[in-house]
Each structure stands twice: as structure tokens, then as C-alpha cells.
A = this chain, B = another copy of it.
């Protein structure tokens, strides 16, 4: 099972699967899960529906792969930020990264995990829940990092890591909405600065 060595038999795939996934990701990003139709998806990927189903399974699995790619690519800032030396630097890097990712010079504005399926019909509840988990995971990792910061004396002993993590996540989500609203990186960076004014010394 799984993707071990590629079977060397059969007709070779006629398209770049990575590039196709990248393009699918951008369609999901711009349209959301339900708003992205198979016609638009496969059109952007440059392949037919048949090829998409053979390569990815179905629309939901394509989205899961796209989300994975999103996390490793545009949203990698969320993980990288954790490596900053201080809690404040982590928060700053996280939010600056959110600004950069949600306002690309080209491509869709906003955050895939926020626009993906905030509200949706019944049939895409699985995707909705997947995104809820994704977002909560990001918050949990931030919280863990801030907990460590308290241990290291980097944050005051009475600081609440969970609360701080939730605050940073909230600001990040808000930035995603503001980016979808049309705000640019300069304006969003100002918001980040304002948000961190009350950061615990």
C-alpha cells in the first residue's frame, strides 16, 4: 500500500502531478471547497475529470492533498515561526507570515483554511471539520511554544500560554478576513503592530 516505488508499468502520466495539485490548491484557495467546481478545478489543472479521479481519488481527497500542500508551502510560516527565540518573536513572525501569505502579489487573497469551508452544506461537513482541526492544531502548537516560553522565563510566570495562543490565532484569522476584504500588506502590518502593543513583557 501507500506510495512506495512507482510501478514501472503502464502508460506514463501525461501531466505534472505536483503542478496540477498546486493549481488545484489555488482554485480552492480562491473559491473555497464548495465554490470550486470540478470543471474549474480540472480546467486549471489542465487535465480531464477522469485523470483527476485516477490521480487523486475524488474532490474531497484532492482538497486534502491541496491542504497538505498549503501547509507545507504558503502556510509554512506557521511552523517556522515556532523556531523564533522569544515568544514575542514567535508571535510577530507568525502574524507577519500570515500577512505575507494572505496578500500575495498574485494569486488569491486570504487564507485557504479560513475561506475553505467556514460555513457549508451538509455534504461537505467532513471538509469543514478537517479545517476546524487544522486551525485548532495550529493554535495548539502555538500554545505549546508559549508554554515553553514560560518555562524558559521568556514569558512572565503569570502569563497564560493558551490565552496568548488564542489571541494570536484570532488576530491571524482576522487578518485573513481583512485580506479577503481588500486590505494590503502595509495596512495589515500596522494591525499586527497594534495587536502586539499589549504583549506581556
Contacts and interface: CB of A to CB of B under 8 A. Distances in A.
Given A35-B34, A37-B121, A198-B195, A170 B174 contact: yes
Q: How many copies does the complex hold?
A: 2
A98 to B, nearest CB: 11
B35 A121 contact: yes
B171 A171 contact: yes
Contacts of A101: none
Interface stretch (A14-22, A52-60, A180-188): A180-188
Interface string A157-197: 00010011011011111111110111100010011001111
A79 interface: no
A178 B118 CA distance: 10
B195 A167 contact: yes
Interface stretch (A66-74, A108-116, A142-150): A108-116
A33 to B, nearest CB: 9
Most chain B CB inside 10 Å of its own CB: which residue of A135, A187, A195: A195
Contacts of A36: 121
Contact of A178 (B29, B170, B196): B170
A164 B194 contact: yes
Contact of A170 (B163, B164, B166, B191): B191
A80 interface: no
B182 A175 contact: no
B167 A177 contact: no
Contact of A119 (B35, B166, B182): B35
A171 B170 CA distance: 6
Contacts of A115: 118-119
Contacts of A171: 170-171, 174, 195
A117 to B, nearest CB: 8
